[in-house]
Amino acid sequence: MKPPEPSPNPQPPMAKRKLPLGLQTFREIREGGYYYVDKTGYIRRLVDGGKHYFLSRPRRFGKSLLVDTIKELFEGSAELFEGLAAEAHPVLSAGHPVVRLDFSGADFTRPESLHRNAMAQLGTLERRACVVGEHDGASERFAHLIQTLHERSGHPVAVLVDEYDKPILDALEKPAVARANRDFLRGLYGTVKFCDADIRFTLLTGVSKFSKVNLFSGLNNLIDITLDPRYSAICGYTEADLDAVFAPELPGLNRDEIRDWYDGYSWRGDERVYNPFDVLLLFDTREFKAHWFETGTPRFLIDTLVKRGVGSLELEDVVGDDAMLSAFDVDDIATEALLFQTGYLTIHEVENLGGELHYRLGYPNREVRQSLNRSLLRHLAEDPSRTARHGTQLHRLLLANDFDGMGKLFRSFFAGVPYQWHVRNDIADYEGYYASLFHTCFLALGLDVRVEDSGSRGRVDMAVRFNGNVYLFEFKVVEKDPTGAAMTQLKAKGYADKYRYLGWPIHLIGVEFSKKTRNVVALDAEPA
């Protein structure tokens, strides 16, 4: 067979560039020879389509870089946009003044710290613009600055606020301070509506989406693009971005593994996005790790899940609507909203029911699923080293299919769960409670775990695929069901039939608990 003719114009391989690790400055990235994923097409659409916007995204998803890019656009830094989607935008030739507030760099857990920080930021902006402040109040000073810049330049102002919500989030464990910070910000952000005639464009970004009634009552003309499908990929990297921008970094890395670990975030768009922080650190270290999770998962989040008795089973398939995902305020934080807005759950499906959108949420990827469950276990056991040892032992026992050892390990684990945990959670469903703890242990290992996996004759409580083996678990409480009921059901329902096509060994594992002893009383295993 004749070999194919070579391409007449072969494309040279893309050259490697510097990774923009930790960089949030558009100018530095563009002038410094770093990789850049062009988001200016989204910015162009925003600027052309409206005036006042709000965007919520999890931490380290590129919000600050987005804000800085918009700043350079309005300041007319045309040379930075050469070759980008916004290259010829009219705003570049106008040179609008920009007022940018950034609340990311301070601690707001103490009373009055927010007021001091805001006044300091306004003072710096005034000095740079040679504007003399005439007011003692932050809102009045903010308004005077905007109006003066408009009058002096002849161009309306761009107002950008980065990490708008951090002063509230910092103080959630001190409700009185959090409320005071919220009330202060309500007045400050209300200035945007008061100065509407002096403003060309506004964007507020942050992690959370606080109630409009309690925080944005004075700024009710914001367009929320958080769940607008047109802007679903305004932050984060798409599959196409990895191919087009980061192609030189991909050789030697398993693409399916990259997807499994870091892809999966969705804000109602047709395509899912990767966590950019994870991707950049993967390319730098060449190691698959929980890069994002390990850089600052808030203790408050884990404490809240534990306090409310939220187990891993409940996070596998969460259903809610717009109201639930927006139920976020100092005195009313829905668990689902907290997890979604902070990036630990994402949208898997959207359904329109009678004009109202309903969402099915779940873990975005392996990093979050594994790391969040590992954190829950550490908190539960109150001994991180013990949790680590338990995970290592369980992994080795699975490799050896040592089910007697597995039974002993779980009895030891449950014996170490503090009594207060049982009491605090007021357990009504012991079977579900203990099943959830089992589930958490296996998810913390990063295994392929399916809960209530359906077959033609019913649903098995838990299915695990690992190392060319299938493990089917059924859980029962001995005070409710007779001894051996778990194994009897596994056999009678023929749960194993669904998995025989794999050609792997299948193990039936019946686990029995006791409400009295709060422990595993039997773990029986048989081949299917």
pLDDT, position 452 = 79
Quick: pLDDT tens for 91-120.
999 889 999 999 998 999 999 999 999 999
Residue 341 lies in a domain: yes
Q: Percentage of the chain surpassing pLDDT 90?
A: 70
Tens of pLDDT along 270-284?
889 999 999 999 999
Residue 27 lies in a domain: no
Phi-psi region of 22 (alpha: psi -120 to 50; beta: other; left: phi over 0): left
What is the domain-level CATH number for residue 433?
A: 3.40.1350
> Which residue, of 231, 266, 281, is where some domain finishes?
231
Q: What is the mean pLDDT of residues 393-409?
A: 97
Distance (Å) of CA 441 to CA 189, 373, 446, 449, 451:
45, 7, 9, 10, 13
Domain that holds residue 463: 382-527
Residue 107 lies in a domain: yes
Q: In whole angstroms, give the CA distance from residue 95 to residue 507.
A: 69
Q: Are strands 458-466 and 448-455 parallel, antiparallel or unpaired?
A: antiparallel
Q: What percent of the chain has pLDDT over 70?
A: 92
* Cα–Cα distance measured from residue 201 to residue 156, given in angstroms and rounded to the nearest whole number: 8
- Domain end point (choices 231, 256, 280): 231
- pTM of the prediction? 0.90
Find the mean pLDDT for residues 357-366. 94
Q: Is the dihedral of CA 69, 71, 74, 80 positive or negative?
A: negative
How many domains does the chain fold into? 3
Tally the residues of the chain. 528
List the structure tokens of 200.
């060309």
Inside any domain, residue 264: no
Does residue 136 lie in a domain region? yes
- Asked if residues 279 and 237 have their Cβ atoms less than 8 Å apart, the reply is yes
Q: 325 with 413, same domain? A: no
Q: Are 178 and 171 in contact (CB under 8 A)?
A: yes
Instruction: Give me the sign of the Cα torsion angle 344, 348, 352, 358.
Output: negative
Domain identity same for 197 and 331 = no
pLDDT at 15: 86
What pLDDT, on a 0 to 100 scale, did the predictor assign at position 298?
A: 67
